[in-house]
Amino acid sequence: MRLRCAVLDDYQGVATEVADWSPVADDVEVVGFGEHLADEDALAAALADFDIVVTLRERVPFPASLLARLPRLKLLIASGMRNTVIDYAAAEARGVTVCGTPSSSTPPVELTWALLLGLARGLVEENGALRAGGSWQSTVGADLHGRRLGLLGLGKIGGRVARVGLAFGMRVGAWSRNLTEERAAEVGVERVDSKEELLASSDFVSVHLALGERTRGLVGAAELALLKPTAYLVNTSRAAIVDQDALLAALREGRIAGAGVDVFDVEPLPADHPMRTAPRLLATPHLGYVSRANYEAYYGGAVEDIRAFLAGRPVRLLG
């Protein structure tokens, strides 16, 4: 009897197209879920008859209470090699193996620049006006060359974003609590002494920090008030790092020039969510990791995980 494998949040319906599942086809039936299952009751009901679950990033929490309601679950695969919403102790106690997959930092770097450039040159407004037969040239673009790019975080993604900024001729500074002069020098950027100094001095600010107790709410109303009225903020990292209500207020009141956001407190966004209609906001539906190459890595890795698990030699163990 074949095992059943659920692929969660397969919005585009491509999980079985971007990877070759034939190596496990005789042993595993794959079922994609195109709609997000938002609460524990819905997840428990939908996944009760599955032996394997593949989950995207940290979109779906797997606490002990949910794992207890999935008696058939044997293998849980999370895309990437870091996941903070799985209760690993509970999984181990229930005999559930948890594995990760390969992933790339390239797609979020590229999306960061898509948002930043879209904001700077008013691409959405100008494209909308052109297609609707509206005004010709209604905005004045913000220059990148010679302007200051401030990065909150200079890890793998932040470092690559910095190098693109340097290629544009921007002056790049970075801050995080653990950032060293050596790391800043390695990337070729200035280490800034405080987040306050970084925010107040930058024309563009981009967030590239991991979410944790020290970064949750790191940018709130007081920090947003430090930004220049001509400054832009981009967040492709984690929603909870930037206070969403404070950001909405700053946008509505015109206290900053604009924001580019790819992450939200609630995902998918409800139809009536204020982030859908906020002024000066360029928003995308969490596309940071969504690229063909990354999906090939995620789902190809999931197939490898399943094959290894079936052979009794699981790989890329998490927890």
Residues tagged active-site: 238, 267, 286
Q: How far apart are CA 55 and CA 298, in angstroms?
A: 10
List strand residue ranges (DSSP E) for the chain, in order.
Answer: 3-7, 28-32, 52-55, 75-78, 97-99, 148-152, 171-175, 190-191, 204-207, 232-235, 258-261, 281-283
Question: Of 37, 58, 57, whose CA–CA distance to 48 is shortest?
Answer: 37
Q: Please report, as a single letter, which amino acid is at residue 35.
A: E
The residue assigned the tokens 């940290």 is: 58
- CA dist 75 and 97 (Å) reads 5
CA distance 126 to 290: 25
The phi, psi pair for 197, rounded to 5°, reads: -65, -40
Alpha carbon distance 68, 59 (integer Å) = 19
